[in-house]
Amino acid sequence: MDNMEQIKISRIMIAAPSSGSGKTLITCGLLNLLKKKGRKPASFKCGPDFIDPMFHSKVLGTKSRNLDTFFTDPDTTRSLLAKNAQDADLAVLEGVMGYFDGMGIDSSRAGASDLASVTDTPVLLIVPAKGVSRSVLPMIRGFLDFQEKPCIRGLILNRVSAGLYPRMKEMIEREIGIPVVGYVPVMKDCALESRHLGLLMPDEIASFQDKLDRLADILDQTLDLDQILEIAAGAPALPVHPPMKHCAAAGPGENTLKKTAVQGGDFVDPERNSQGTGGPGKLRIGLARDEAFCFFYADNLDLLREMGAELVPFSPIHDVCLPDNLDGLLLHGGYPELYGKELSENVSMRESIREAVLGGLPTLAECGGFLYLHRTLTDPDGNAWPMAGVFPENAFYTGHLTRFGYVTLTGGTMFGSDVGEIRSHEFHYYESENPGDTFLARKPAGNRSWRCVRSTDSLYAGFPHLYFYANPKVAAAFIKRCAEHYDNRNL
């Protein structure tokens, strides 16, 4: 790999044979234990999940990041891992679904095994061990033999008793030859609750920090942390392109803007002299952020900041109106359906957002943010709550998962620019009377496709969630439109 830097990063992935095997619980417990031991871990979630990284963030007190090999090519994936782990002494990756599960029944692409392979990350496989003894051997052997690239380096036995564990460990290591680095007993009081979009939010779980502390104390006794750290330290150096090294440190107008300008076409530098201020100005982009709007890719927000944006948080639930002097607006996903009454009763905010969006303020509204722009939002109990009213149609609960998984968007424009294909994903139980028809969404596996997204020169509104590193032209198109709004505002 010519022109690559070799960056040494201790790293480990927690994976499992299936969903519901305890990956999030064990990952959070391990992260909390590492913190208690004085380590500085960085955490990552495989795939497009929003909620699991929030649990990681709750443990670490810093943002977790996503790594997704459907969204990004191998070089970019490795570079994002290196960039986001640069201040840590250990990277902990959490897998997704079953270890070999990917974007389709015939492919492991974008799954945990794919990410482990792309990043050369050693894997600890969680082995369900309740109610079995010798039967774990063929299951473990099957996982080891099925690997195209041997990344599984150790096992954690889950839901096994302290009395049985030593004998199972000895049997597995004797007959298969892979280290067993510990076990997790049955812990009913540490279970994490769920709802329709996944786990409950960390702040909603009673005594969440107490659960994490109890879990860390238990894992301190049942995991061989020294052996885990040794396996993590054995990860090979990560080959990374040098430009990403500069991307993390570049301020507005420096390498990040140059790199994005090349990838995204024409770019208007937001750092300029403004006739309105008499000095350098900065794009002010409003970021809806509260209980109802809480699904973010931290890398997206970081990239916008690196491109010259100042993100101005506000709450559609609690604030009276939008912040002053905005050049753009971000309405991300979350749970607006759970706060229909509160959002509806904030009439001044609804009017402020409707006037801004209809007035041409560049706006990116994804999923929950898209729902908020409708005339009404009907909750699961049948209550139709008035929303911002940018669109005259209604949004409603379907009672089932309407769309789920990766899609590729083609055929449309983003803020007036042709940005090419956009890899994104959907996950929603809600539908719109008019979901839009600007783009054709096509599943990467199979032949399913449908029209979606309402897009104009100043608006992207639809169910697909966007990850900017999948196509940096999307961020560039949004920032360019925001920069034009800035210029008009300061004439």
- Whether 367 is a known active-site residue: answer yes
Phi-psi category of 487—alpha, beta or left, where left has phi over 0 and alpha has psi -120 to 50? alpha
Task: Specify the length of the chain in residues.
Answer: 491
Tokens of 70: 């459907």
User: 294, 367, 452, 482: which is the annotated catalytic residue?
Assistant: 367
Containing H/E element for 48? none
Please report where in the chains the tokens 């699904």 appear, as a residue.
Answer: 295
Asked if 438 and 412 count as a contact pair (C-beta separation under 8 A), the reply is yes
Torsions phi, psi of 121, nearest 5?
-100, 125
358 Cβ partners below 8 Å, 6+ apart?
A: 390
CA distance 440 to 454: 11
Torsions phi, psi of 363, nearest 5?
-135, 135
The residue among 316, 401, 400, 402 whose CA lies nearest residue 365 is: 316
Containing H/E element for 14? strand 11-15
**Buried residues in 286-299 as b, exposed as e (16+ CB within 10 A):** bbbbbbbbbbbbeb
Please report where in the chains the tokens 């496989």 appear, as a residue.
Answer: 125
CA distance 360 to 357: 5
- Strand duo 65-67 + 328-331: pairing: unpaired
Sign for the CA dihedral angle at 96, 99, 104, 107 comes to positive
Residues designated catalytic: 367
